[in-house]
């Protein structure tokens, strides 16, 4: 039975309904005032304990003012501003990490996000009702850098990061920004620690970067770093195939492609800047092309319009005849077969060397080969070579990097065989998932909403997380291409790779006879002895 509330019963209706006036305790005025004062002081004390930096600063400022009047405030402020300016001038990145970022983050937390939090969460549909009361996601921390504000948010019990990802655009506009991204794990990798205290810092990092499934990270783009054209990256003498710098990320870091052991599919509408992605890749491979560590086999069905300028860099090139393109692909399959025979039983993954280079088959406008080609026989031949290359080439260093405009299955039947995908501006929302994989658009890859200026801007999926990242690829101009072609031509003997490696066939391995197994437990001892004796007799 439910207990009756404390108070005076005013009336009872015919049913069980009781109308009760709560009992009031009358207190003297001084006691109420004292209670209120105690409550406010308690709150103030708690606030001071939670914000020690602000408290100490205010106390210090008051003390300086009382002791030295106005100069006591102005002189330290001028000194601090000068020190900060010098710090920024000497090392801007550490200045952002340790001073400006946390300071700006704290200010924006109080003056921007906290003020709009309740309204934004409710109107974006992230407030839940529990026990007849609204429960909001909790804003824990704001960290700013040059480009982004990263908000650490504790979800309401029962929410998932997908719910936040579904309303990421609403969240961006709710806080007056154009782009927002939701990360289910803390964005950014732990820093590499060196020096004496590295072990301690690594321990701290393990705690800081631990998996925290109750949190989501909302990154709001404060200053869009992708609005300006990205200049070409420096060409490394020896390319690191696991991290080829190609694009600028929203957070001003560099996005690098892991090319080794993968095939890359690049989807983008016409004039979206596919050329700049392919040329950025060619550029960072330049050092390897000249030294012979990597061979580019290029198919340019636009008659050489896109890649003709860089012809000296390419070991093989087909631009006009589809027959020649089919031959090129067949030969790539031959290289694949030769490598499989040679490497089988020795290694499981091919490591590129100058004697045995990485072969990258670069295809612009792939649909011209797989869908729009009139000659059915030729199309079938191309399809079968492509299928083989895509399904078996990654491990033996014969990779395919293909660009196309229309990612539908009937245009590109091998879509699923590309492990790495890049989506530039696309024309339809459904194409985003076709290029980047199921659910990518829901997770914030709005490649179909690219503004007109966003040439070479696209979405990539970062290694190790399912969350898409917005990047802008470097723009390689025609003059840069001419320079590259002069500086990094492929070696003279680059075209005939099969003649260079020499074919070998793997020989049958020497096999040892199997040792006789110990007898199974199912046979009785006497029978086993009998069998063993017989076997011994046979052997003699
Ligand atoms: N990263 C970039 N930064 C700035 N401008 C770019 C970038 N990439 C391309 N552009 C510009 O965008 C235009 C189209 O680029 P591009 O020819 O590479 O597109 P595409 O996707 O290959 O088009 P198509 O399908 O017609 O071949 C060009 O005028 C180029 O100057
Ligand atoms: Mg193009």
Please work out whether the CB of residue 276 comes within 6 Å of at least one atom of ligand 1: yes
pLDDT of residue 540: 41
Inter-residue long-range contacts of 125-133, CB under 8 Å, 24+ positions, other chains counted: 125/167, 125/170, 126/156, 126/159, 126/163, 126/164, 126/167, 127/156, 128/156, 128/158, 128/159, 130/156
Nearest CA to ligand 1 atom 23: 271
Counting atoms of ligand 1 from 1, which one is nearest the CA of 279?
18
Counting atoms of ligand 1 from 1, which one is nearest the CA of 272?
21
- For residue 238, which of 274, 202, 273, 286 has the smallest C-alpha distance? 286
Q: Are strands 294-299 and 316-318 parallel, antiparallel or unpaired?
A: parallel
Close Cβ partners of 442 (under 8 Å, ≥ 6 residues apart): 162, 165, 166
pLDDT of residue 84: 94
pLDDT of residue 346: 81
Please work out whether the CB of residue 270 comes within 6 Å of at least one atom of ligand 1: yes
Beta-bridge mates of residue 128: 135
Domains of the chain: 103-188+209-223 (3.30.980), 244-501 (3.40.50.300)
pLDDT of residue 465: 72
User: Residue 70, SS3?
Assistant: coil
Q: Are strands 264-267 and 398-404 parallel, antiparallel or unpaired?
A: parallel
pLDDT of residue 93: 87
Counting atoms of ligand 1 from 1, which one is nearest the CA of 280?
1
Instruction: Give pLDDT tens digits along the chain (540 positions).
Output: 445 556 666 666 666 677 777 778 888 899 999 999 999 999 999 999 988 988 999 999 999 999 888 888 899 899 999 999 999 999 998 999 899 999 999 999 999 999 999 999 999 999 999 988 999 999 999 999 888 999 999 999 999 999 999 999 999 999 999 989 898 888 877 788 888 888 999 999 898 888 899 999 999 999 888 999 999 999 999 999 999 999 999 888 899 999 999 999 999 999 999 999 999 999 999 999 999 999 999 999 998 889 999 999 999 999 888 999 999 999 999 999 999 988 887 888 888 998 889 999 999 999 988 888 888 899 999 999 999 999 999 999 999 999 999 888 778 888 889 999 999 999 999 999 999 988 889 888 999 999 999 999 999 987 667 778 999 999 999 999 999 999 999 888 777 676 555 444 445 556 666 666 655 566 677 777 776 666 554 444
Distances (CA, A) of 269 to 1, 448, 457, 469, 475: 69, 9, 12, 19, 17
Please work out whether the CB of residue 449 comes within 6 Å of at least one atom of ligand 1: no
pTM: 0.79
225: DSSP letter: T
Matching residue, tokens 């990256």:
233
């Amino acid at each position: 039975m439910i207990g009756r509330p404390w108070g005076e019963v005013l009336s009872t209706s015919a049913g069980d309904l009781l109308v009760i006036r709560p009992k009031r305790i009358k207190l003297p005025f001084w006691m109420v005032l004292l209670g209120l004062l105690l409550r406010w002081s308690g709150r103030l004390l708690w606030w001071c304990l939670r914000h020690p930096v602000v408290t100490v600063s205010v106390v210090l400022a008051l003390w300086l003012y009382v002791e030295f009047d106005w100069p006591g405030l102005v002189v330290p402020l001028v000194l601090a501003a000068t020190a900060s300016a010098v710090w920024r001038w000497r090392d801007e990145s550490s200045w952002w990490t340790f001073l400006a970022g946390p300071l700006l983050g704290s200010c924006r937390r109080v003056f921007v996000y906290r003020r709009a939090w309740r309204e934004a969460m409710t109107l974006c549909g992230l407030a839940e009702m529990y026990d007849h009361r609204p429960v909001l996601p909790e804003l824990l921390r704001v960290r700013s850098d040059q480009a982004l504000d990263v908000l650490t948010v504790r979800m309401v019990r029962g929410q998932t990061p997908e719910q936040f990802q579904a309303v990421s655009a609403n969240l961006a506009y709710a806080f007056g920004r154009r782009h927002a991204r939701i990360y289910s794990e803390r964005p950014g990798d732990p820093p590499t620690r060196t020096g004496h205290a590295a072990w301690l810092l690594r321990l701290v990092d393990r705690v800081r970067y631990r998996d925290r499934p109750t949190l989501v990270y909302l990154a709001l783009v404060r200053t869009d770093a992708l609005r300006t054209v990205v200049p070409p990256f420096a060409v490394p003498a020896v390319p690191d195939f696991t991290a080829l710098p190609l694009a600028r990320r929203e957070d001003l870091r560099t996005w690098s492609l892991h090319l080794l052991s993968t095939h890359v599919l690049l989807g983008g509408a016409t004039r979206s800047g596919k050329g700049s992605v392919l040329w950025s890749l060619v550029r960072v491979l330049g050092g390897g092309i000249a030294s012979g560590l990597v061979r580019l086999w290029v198919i340019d069905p636009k008659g050489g319009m896109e890649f003709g300028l860089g012809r000296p860099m390419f070991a093989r090139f087909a631009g006009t005849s589809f027959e020649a393109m089919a031959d090129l692909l067949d030969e790539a399959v031959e290289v694949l077969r030769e490598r499989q025979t040679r490497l089988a039983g020795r290694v499981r993954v091919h490591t590129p060397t100058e004697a045995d280079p990485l072969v990258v088959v670069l295809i612009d406008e792939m649909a011209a080969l797989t869908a729009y080609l009139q000659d059915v026989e030729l199309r079938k031949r191309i399809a079968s070579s492509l299928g083989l290359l895509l399904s078996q080439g990654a491990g033996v260093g014969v990779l395919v990097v293909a660009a196309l405009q229309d990612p539908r299955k009937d245009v590109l039947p091998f879509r699923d065989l590309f492990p790495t995908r890049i989506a530039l501006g696309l024309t339809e929302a459904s194409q985003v998932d076709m290029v980047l994989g199921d659910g990518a658009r829901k997770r914030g890859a709005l490649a179909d909403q690219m503004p007109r200026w966003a040439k070479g801007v696209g979405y990539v999926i970062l290694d190790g997380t399912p969350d898409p990242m917005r990047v802008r690829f470097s723009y390689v101009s025609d003059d840069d291409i001419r320079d590259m072609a002069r500086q990094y031509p492929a070696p003279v003997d680059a075209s005939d790779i099969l003649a260079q490696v020499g074919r070998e066939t793997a020989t049958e391995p020497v096999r040892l006879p199997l040792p006789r197994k110990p007898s199974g437990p199912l046979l009785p001892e006497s029978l086993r002895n009998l069998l063993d004796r017989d076997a011994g007799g046979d052997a003699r």
